[in-house]
Structure formats: structure tokens, C-alpha cells
Amino acid sequence: MATTPNLKTVPRRTRSATAGSWLALLAATTLGDAAHTIRAEVRAKVVPSDSAMYRLVIQSYDRSDGAVPGLSARPVGSMQRSVTAEELRQGIHVNLLEIRESLGSGANGEKPLVVAWIDTGATDLEFDARRARPGRGSVYGVVARSAQQDAVQISLDRTVA
């Protein structure tokens, strides 16, 4: 009687689409490990207003020196949405889809960075806000993270001069 060899299962990295949206699921199934989801909680102490809308923009970068990236820097993940002052005070939870060229990006001792800011007014027609940058007077926050960190908390407590 022939015996079958004992097959060892190789642990695979869990894809981050389980924590994300349908877009993250689609990206993970088409792009594989080049797609990754970061969970972010964004809070801001915004003065109560008469139901004014704000544009919240969140971007992530693989490499940074800790400062807000310049105009030539390209984010690996970005999104925008319209929010209210009340939502900002309570905290907004978002899933940010990152798309990289390779799985190893950002893991070479570099400090990945997540930047978030608000502008007055609703979102614009650019869906992903990849080219957006904070304008003068925008309230923003920056948080460095490790390459393996999947969740961040950002407090919008600085103002662009």
C-alpha cells in the first residue's frame, strides 16, 4: 500500500483586502500582493459650524524624511471624501488602498508616511486625490509608520503656513 507524502503547507501572507472595501478586494485579486490596505482613523478639533462640508484627503508614501512630501512625490495610496465638522470631531475611519510596484517597497528601512488634511468645501471630481496637495491655511496631520503597520491614527493639528 503506497503512502502519500505529508505535504507541508506554506504559510502565506494574508491579503489585506479582508479589511478593506470592494475596491481593495478587486485590487488584491487582480494585483496580488502589490495591493495593500491601510486603516486610518482621522480626528480634528474643528469649530462647530452651520453644517459646512470639508474635503478630507489622505495620502500614503513609501519613502519620506518625516516632512510633508513635495509636489514631485508620488503617493502609493490616496483618497478623498466629504466630511462634516461633527464627523471629524468623532473620528473618521477609512480604508486606504495602496498600490505598489513590488511587495518589497517601503520595507528597506524607509519610513512610510501617511498625510491627511482638510480643506473647506466638498470633494472635487478627481476620484483618488493622487495629485492633491494641502493649500495655505489647510489643517493637516502627519504620522510615520513601520512598513508592517496596517493601522494609523492621525490627528489634524497643524496648519499650512
74 pLDDT band, cuts 50/70/90, is confident
Top-confidence residue, 153 or 26: 153
Nearest to 154 by CA among 145, 141, 137: 141
Domain made up of 34-159: CATH architecture: Sandwich (2.60)
The pLDDT value given to residue 27? 55
The pLDDT value given to residue 56? 92
Cell 485590487 belongs to residue: 27
Asked whether residue 124 carries a pLDDT value surpassing 80, the answer given is no
- Exposed, middle or buried: residue 98 (CB in 10 Å: 0-12, 13-18, 19+)? buried
Asked whether residue 135 carries a pLDDT value surpassing 70, the answer given is yes
Stretch 112-130: mean pLDDT: 79
Top-confidence residue, 124 or 61: 61
Stretch 111-138: mean pLDDT: 80
Inter-CA distances, 96 with 33, 51, 53, 160, Å? 15, 26, 21, 23
The pLDDT value given to residue 66? 64
User: For residue range 11-47, what is the model confidence (pLDDT) as tens digits?
Assistant: 444 444 444 555 555 555 555 555 678 889 999 987 7
Tell me which H or E stretch contains 30: helix 22-31
